[in-house]
């Protein structure tokens, strides 16, 4: 078995996914920007589980970073059998009042880097006839999200692209899983300048461990979609049944800063 590459390895959900992979005996390549945190995590995983854990720090929102990461694994002779695209962030606020640079970075990370890594490692996996890709989408993928417009759109992209790519790869030995967490207790909320209140608190804050477990299991069994928690299932059904104008209005009420 080759390596599992996890982006966002230092974050709440990514770190738990690394832990689960290591506990199952998988060697890992850990990716995020914070080199020190990555090194500490790698040391712990090696020590506790006896697996190989390589550290490849990268800012995946930078031009060419995904390609450089792919090349670095090739140069090190590392074969990636499992790709976990978990790195991502959100930002709350009205689009026209937001920082353009931050919105652009979000699309580069949440969408472009995920696509590019899927393309590069996915081609390798297909030529070997085996592989797993896990893309972390969100409950935000189901509807438009006023005051978090770019984030919601980026996650809708991740969900749609993952399902379509998975279908294209049917029978190839490579599977693609989209994981849609609901409200999860991680650093995400701080980074997005948000509080998990209102409708979010009604959905219930979940632990990153439980989200990671669901995603890991779904990915390993090749399921296309993993919806975490009853609230996420309900949001999925509601978004399909409700008129778009209504769901957009409702999300705007939930996401507007008061
Ligand atoms: N928490 C929730 O409620 C929730 C719900 C639905 C979906 N999600 C999704 O779950 C995924 C994981 O988020 P989380 O909740 O675990 O949040 P988190 O704790 O903030 O983790 C984010 C991870 O992404 C990495 N990252 C951020 N910017 C990066 C960049 N430019 N290049 C490389 N790595 C970068 C961070 O590490 P560095 O800062 O060191 O780079 C960190 O490891 C995200 O895609 C998020 O959208 C979260």
CATH number for 3-255: choose from 1.10.1060.10, 1.20.210.10, 3.10.20.30, 3.40.50.720: 3.40.50.720
Predicted pLDDT of residue 79: 98
Provide the pLDDT for residue 201. Answer: 67
> How does pLDDT run across 162-198, given as a tens digit for each residue?
999 999 999 999 999 999 999 999 999 999 988 766 6
Q: Residue 174 forms beta bridges with which residues? A: 131
Pocket residue to mutate for ligand 1, from 158, 182, 188, most atoms within 8 A of Cβ? 188
Tens digits of per-residue pLDDT, 6-25?
A: 999 999 999 999 999 999 99
> Angle 193-198-203 (CA atoms, 0-180°, nearest 5)?
100
Answer yes or no: is pLDDT of 202 > 90.
no
What is the rounded (10 degree) CA torsion for 39, 42, 47, 50? -150
Segment 42-57, tens digit of pLDDT: 999 999 999 999 999 9
Indicate whether residue 211 lines ligand 1 (CB < 6 A): no
- Quick: pLDDT tens for 112-141: 999 999 999 999 999 999 999 999 999 999
Q: Best of 8, 137, 182, 207 to mutate for ligand 1, by most ligand atoms within 8 A of CB?
A: 8
Q: Is the pLDDT of residue 61 over 90?
A: yes
Distance CA 13, CA 190 (A): 15
The partner residues of 84 in beta bridges, in order of sequence, read 6, 134
Domain chopping of the chain, boundaries = 3-255
| Nearest-CA residue for atom 36 of ligand 1 | 8
Residue found by looking up tokens 């990671």 in the block: 212
pTM over cut 0.75: yes
């Amino acid at each position: 078995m080759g390596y599992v590459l996890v982006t966002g390895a230092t974050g709440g959900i990514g770190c738990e996914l690394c832990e689960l992979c290591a506990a199952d005996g998988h060697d890992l390549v850990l990716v995020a920007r914070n080199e020190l945190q990555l090194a500490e995590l790698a040391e712990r995983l090696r020590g506790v589980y006896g697996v190989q854990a390589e550290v490849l720090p990268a800012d995946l929102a930078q031009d060419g970073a995904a390609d450089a990461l792919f090349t670095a694994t090739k140069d090190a002779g590392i074969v990636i059998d499992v790709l976990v695209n978990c790195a991502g962030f959100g930002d709350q606020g009205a689009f026209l009042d937001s920082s353009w640079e931050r919105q652009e970075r979000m699309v580069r990370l949440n969408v472009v880097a995920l696509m590019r890594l899927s393309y590069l490692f996915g081609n390798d996996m297909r030529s070997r006839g085996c592989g797993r890709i896990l893309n972390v989408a969100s409950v935000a993928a189901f509807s438009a999200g006023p005051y978090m417009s770019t984030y919601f759109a980026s996650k809708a992209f991740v969900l749609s692209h993952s399902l379509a790519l998975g279908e294209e790869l049917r029978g190839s030995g490579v599977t693609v899983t989209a994981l849609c967490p609901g409200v999860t207790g991680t650093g995400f909320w701080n980074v997005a300048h948000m509080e998990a209140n209102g409708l979010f608190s009604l959905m219930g804050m979940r632990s990153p461990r439980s989200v990671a477990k669901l995603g890991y299991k779904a990915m390993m069994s090749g399921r296309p979609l993993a919806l975490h928690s009853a609230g996420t299932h309900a949001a999925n059904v509601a978004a399909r049944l409700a008129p778009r104008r209504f769901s957009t209005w409702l999300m705007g009420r939930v996401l507007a800063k008061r």
